Structure 1
Amino acid sequence: MGMVFADPDMLDRLAKSLDSKADAVPQLMRRATTLGVSCEVSGLTAIGSWLRDTARDLRRRAAILRTPSESPFDSLSAFGLPTALAKLSGAGKKLDTALQKVLAQHEHDTPKRRAQAVKDYFATLSPQQQAALAAADPRAIGNLDGVPVEVRFAANRISIQREFNEESSFLKGLAPNDPAYKRTKDRVDALRSFLDPRIKSFVDPKTNRVTQAEVPRQFLVFDAHFGSTADSKASPFPDGRVAEVVGDLERSKNVAFRVPGITNRLDNFNGFSNGGYELAQGDKEIEQPDTAVVSWLGYDTPEIGDSVDPAKAVVGGNALSSFEQGISVNLEPGAIKSIFAHSYGTLVTSKALQSGLTDAANVTFMGSPGLGPNIHSVADFHLPGTKFYAMRAPEDPVSYTQGLGDDPADFKDITRLGTGGSTGHSQYYNQNTESLANMQRLLFGDTKQLTFTHTTLDEEMTGAAEIRELVAFLHERVPADVVSRMGGDLDPIVQNYLNGRCGLTDIIRPLNSVLNKHNMLDKVKPEALVGEIKDLAGDLAYKQAFKAAKAHGAPDVTAEAAGVTAKLAAKPLLDLTTFPVLKVLEFDRLQNNARQLFGDLAVGGKDIFRSASEMATGVEKDGGKILGDSLDLGSDLLHGSGTAFSNLGDTLIHPSHGLGNVTDTVKSLDDSRASTVEKGKSILGSLNDAKDTVLDKGGDMMSSGLDTGKKSLSKGKDLLDSAANFAF
Structure 2
Amino acid sequence: MRRYRRTLVAIALMATLVSGTAGWAAGSGQRPVDGPPPGTAAWRHDGAFGRALPDPETAAPAQVAAFFATLSATQRQELTERHPSVVGNLDGVPVEIRYRANRLALAKDPRYSRLAAPGRQIVAFDPRGRGTVAEVYGDLLTSRHIAVVVPGSDIDAGTYDRSGDAYGTPAGMATSLRTATGGRTAVVAWAGYTTPVGVGLDAATGELAEVGAERLARFTEGLAAVGAGTPKLFCHSYGSVVCGLAASEAAASDIVVLGSPGMRADTVDALRTDARVWAAKDPSDWISKVPNVEFLGLGHGTDPAAADFGARRVPARTAHGHTGYFAPGTDSLRAFASIATGGEVR
TM range (shorter): 0.7 to 0.9
Return the letter of the residue paired with 1:432: G
Return the letter of the residue paired with 2:173: G
The answer to whether the aligner puts 1:318 opposite 2:244 as a matched pair is no
Q: 1:266 pairs with 152, 157, 162, which one?
A: 157
Partner in structure 1 of residue 136 of structure 2: 245
Measure the CA separation in 2 of the matches of 1:251 and 1:391.
29
Q: What SS does the aligned partner of 1:320 have?
A: helix
Q: Deviations over 1:456-481 (max 9, x none)?
A: xxxxxxxxxxxxxxxxxxxxxxxxxx
Q: What SS does the aligned partner of 2:300 have?
A: coil
Contact 2:91/2:218 (8 A) holds in 1: no
The answer to whether the aligner puts 1:376 opposite 2:279 as a matched pair is no
Partner in structure 1 of residue 225 of structure 2: 329
Return the letter of the residue paired with 1:270: D
Structure with the bigger percentage of helix: 1
The answer to whether the aligner puts 1:393 opposite 2:282 as a matched pair is yes
Q: What SS does the aligned partner of 1:422 have?
A: coil
The answer to whether the aligner puts 1:442 opposite 2:339 as a matched pair is yes
Measure the CA separation in 2 of the matches of 1:270 and 1:133.
29
Measure the CA separation in 2 of the matches of 1:360 and 1:136.
33
Partner in structure 2 of residue 257 of structure 1: 148
Measure the CA separation in 1 of the matches of 2:284 and 2:49.
55
Measure the CA separation in 1 of the matches of 2:333 and 2:180.
11
The answer to whether the aligner puts 1:276 opposite 2:174 as a matched pair is yes
The answer to whether the aligner puts 1:194 opposite 2:84 as a matched pair is no
Q: 1:296 pairs with 178, 190, 207, which one?
A: 190
Return the letter of the residue paired with 2:66: D
Q: 1:425 pairs with 310, 322, 331, which one?
A: 322
Partner in structure 2 of residue 155 of structure 1: 101
Closer, same or farther: CA 422–265 of 1 in aligned 2, 3 Å: same
Q: CA deviation at 1:125?
A: 1.9
Q: CA deviation at 1:99?
A: 9.0
Closer, same or farther: CA 392–94 of 1 in aligned 2, 3 Å: closer
Q: What SS does the aligned partner of 1:295 have?
A: strand
Q: CA deviation at 1:352?
A: 0.8
Measure the CA separation in 2 of the matches of 1:93 and 1:320.
24
Q: CA deviation at 1:323?
A: 1.8
Measure the CA separation in 2 of the matches of 1:99 and 1:308.
49
Measure the CA separation in 2 of the matches of 1:245 and 1:280.
11
Q: CA deviation at 1:94?
A: 10
Partner in structure 2 of residue 49 of structure 1: none
Measure the CA separation in 1 of the matches of 2:159 and 2:319.
22
Measure the CA separation in 1 of the matches of 2:197 and 2:64.
35
Measure the CA separation in 2 of the matches of 1:107 and 1:224.
18
- Superposition pairs for residues 53-132 of structure 1, below 5 Å? 97-98=48-49, 101-104=52-55, 108=58, 114-132=60-78
Q: Deviations over 1:424-476 (max 9, x none)?
A: 101111111111111111111232xx24xxxxxxxxxxxxxxxxxxxxxxxxx
Q: What SS does the aligned partner of 1:281 have?
A: helix
Contact 2:318/2:331 (8 A) holds in 1: yes
Partner in structure 2 of residue 553 of structure 1: none
Which consecutive residues of structure 1, in runs of 5 or more, have no partner in the other structure?
Answer: 1-91, 165-187, 198-215, 226-237, 452-728
Contact 1:370/1:399 (8 A) holds in 2: no
Contact 1:242/1:296 (8 A) holds in 2: yes
Q: CA deviation at 1:97?
A: 4.3
Partner in structure 2 of residue 563 of structure 1: none
Q: What SS does the aligned partner of 1:245 have?
A: strand
Q: CA deviation at 1:253?
A: 2.3
Measure the CA separation in 2 of the matches of 1:129 and 1:420.
54
Return the letter of the residue paired with 2:174: G
Closer, same or farther: CA 387–100 of 1 in aligned 2, 3 Å: farther
Return the letter of the residue paired with 1:137: H
Q: What SS does the aligned partner of 1:154 have?
A: helix
Contact 2:236/2:258 (8 A) holds in 1: yes
Q: 1:222 pairs with 122, 125, 129, which one?
A: 125
Q: 1:362 pairs with 254, 258, 270, which one?
A: 254
Q: CA deviation at 1:129?
A: 2.3
Partner in structure 2 of residue 711 of structure 1: none
Q: CA deviation at 1:399?
A: 3.3
For the pair shown, the structure with the greater C-alpha radius of gyration is 1
Moved segments of 4+, more than 6 Å: 92-96
Q: Deviations over 1:341-394 (max 9, x none)?
A: 00001011111114x22x31111110011112xx111111232x3111100011
Closer, same or farther: CA 313–115 of 1 in aligned 2, 3 Å: same
Closer, same or farther: CA 99–315 of 1 in aligned 2, 3 Å: farther
Q: CA deviation at 1:193?
A: 2.5
Partner in structure 1 of residue 304 of structure 2: 408
Measure the CA separation in 2 of the matches of 1:244 and 1:102.
26
Measure the CA separation in 2 of the matches of 1:99 and 1:431.
54
- Superposition pairs for residues 386-535 of structure 1, below 5 Å? 386-401=275-290, 402=292, 403-412=299-308, 413-447=310-344, 450-451=345-346
Closer, same or farther: CA 317–163 of 1 in aligned 2, 3 Å: same
Measure the CA separation in 2 of the matches of 1:219 and 1:158.
11
Contact 1:360/1:386 (8 A) holds in 2: yes
Identity level (%)? 31
Measure the CA separation in 1 of the matches of 2:53 and 2:106.
27
Q: What SS does the aligned partner of 2:189 have?
A: strand
Contact 2:124/2:135 (8 A) holds in 1: yes
Q: What SS does the aligned partner of 2:147 have?
A: strand
Closer, same or farther: CA 141–395 of 1 in aligned 2, 3 Å: same
- Superposition pairs for residues 41-56 of structure 1, below 5 Å? none
Contact 1:362/1:387 (8 A) holds in 2: yes
Measure the CA separation in 1 of the matches of 2:124 and 2:57.
20
Q: If the length of structure 1 is used for normalisation, what is the TM-score? A: 0.38
Return the letter of the residue paired with 2:52: K
Return the letter of the residue paired with 2:132: R
Q: What SS does the aligned partner of 2:243 have?
A: helix
Contact 2:180/2:333 (8 A) holds in 1: no
Q: If the length of structure 2 is used for normalisation, what is the TM-score? A: 0.77
Q: CA deviation at 1:264?
A: 0.6
Return the letter of the residue paired with 1:193: R
Q: Deviations over 1:589-620 (max 9, x none)?
A: xxxxxxxxxxxxxxxxxxxxxxxxxxxxxxxx
Q: What SS does the aligned partner of 1:269 have?
A: coil
Closer, same or farther: CA 99–365 of 1 in aligned 2, 3 Å: farther
Return the letter of the residue paired with 1:115: P
Q: CA deviation at 1:108?
A: 4.4
Q: CA deviation at 1:312?
A: 0.9
